[in-house]
Chains A and B, each alone.
Chain A
Amino acid sequence: MSRKTIVAVALLLLSCTPLIAQTKKKRPLPYEYGRVVINNSSERSNMAPVVFEHWIHRRRFTCRVCHVDVGFGMRAGSTGIKAIDNERGFYCGSCHNGKLMVDGKSLFQACAPTMTAENHKRCDRCHSLGKNVQTEVDFFQFSAPLPKERFGNGIDWEKAEEMGLIKPATELEGFSGRKNSMATQKDFALNPKVEGMPDIIFSHQKHTVWNGCELCHPDIFVGVKRGNSHYSMVDISEGKSCGACHVSVAFPLTDCQRCHAKPVQP
């Protein structure tokens, strides 16, 4: 191999380094897991994009309240939230309206029609990308007493609710209709195609308690007949089916045993 060829190959490899670095995803830290950056029109309005922390909100509300009753989409940017929507008392403004009381304090109002110095400080609480803004709730202080999990936020949210350490609300006044207790479908097993891989035990009950029905059906799980839909780990890791939640907010795919829960039959 000539010297020129070696130099050319080396240069080619060097030029590819940023690409390789880009494709390798950094595993988020526990307090970063579930973070969503919303930038529908923030930068166009000379504001920093909004940094939304799921962990702060999911300790108070079930997924359904925000993603069904309030109407937030399941993908960042899909809702098309505007400041005026919040000012009118929808989306973030459903709770962040300066009136709703939490722990004896009223929740700060999201977005304001006029820009004063006081308002500007308030804007920074959400429009915080690239700024050093401290949240009122400290993640480590909040998570310390909660049952631990290896991945995601490092919190076993399900167990935390079972133990009564968190009590996510199932309704938001003015947005949620009155609901009867739901008759849930039975748990069922899905058989993986890979030999030796434990079956997936899917619990409708665990999912409906936080999500209701319409959050998953039919947008995320469209198939009506059991066994007709095929799921692959590649699709899931790209955010399809289970990956709609279990890639970004609910416990991640690296926690294999949480789904592949049935022991392999001898």
Chain B
Amino acid sequence: MFRQLAAVALVLCLCGGIPVGAVAQSNGGTQSVEPWQREFDEICGPTHDAMTFTPDELASLIARCDALLPKLQKLDDTRRKVFTNRLQMCRGLYAYVLESKKSEKK
């Protein structure tokens, strides 16, 4: 029985049926990671590595920020405020690093 359950859980995980890295209860009571949030985490998670990205990678991250913004603006008041501000901060950083890399080349 245990083996069967473990196998089912593994299959579900691999299929994306169980949200990976579920958000803790403290995060606004959200139990699962919504697609916008997964995208947000992917974009804004690696700001620590901003200096190591190539100009193309930075440009791609900026484009993903711009694509995500309209989705965040449809959230409830609280989450819209929190996540649009955070997105602006990480977009700002990527644009800043991109600009500084371009100016280094000149």
Taking Cβ atoms with an 8 Å cutoff, the residues of A that contact B are: 68-71, 73, 79-80, 82, 84-85, 88-91, 94-95, 97, 99-100, 172-175, 177-183, 185, 212-215, 217-219, 222, 224-225
Chain B interface residue number, banded: 35 or more
Main secondary structure of the interface of B (DSSP, over half): helix
- What per-residue 1/0 map shows which CB atoms of B25-40 lie under 8 Å from chain A? 1111100000000000
Main secondary structure of the interface of A (DSSP, over half): loop
- Select from chain B the residue with minimum beta-carbon distance to A68: B89
Point out the residues of chain A lying under 8 angstroms from B92, CB to CB.
214, 217-219
A219–B103 CB distance below 8 A: no
Taking Cβ atoms with an 8 Å cutoff, the residues of B that contact A are: 23-29, 41, 44-52, 76-79, 81-83, 85-86, 89-90, 92-93, 95-97, 99-100, 103
Point out the residues of chain A lying under 8 angstroms from B93, CB to CB.
213-214, 217-218
Given contacts A68-B86, A212-B48, contact A174 B23 (CB under 8 A): yes
B7 vs chain A, min Cβ distance (A):
28
Given contacts A71-B82, A71-B85, A214-B92, contact A88 B28 (CB under 8 A): yes
- Select from chain A the residue with minimum beta-carbon distance to B82: A71
Contact for B81 among A80, A95, A183, CB less than 8 A: A80
A224–B26 CB distance below 8 A: no
Point out the residues of chain B lying under 8 angstroms from A182, CB to CB.
48-49
A256 vs chain B, min Cβ distance (A):
29
Contact for A89 among B28, B47, B49, B77, CB less than 8 A: B28
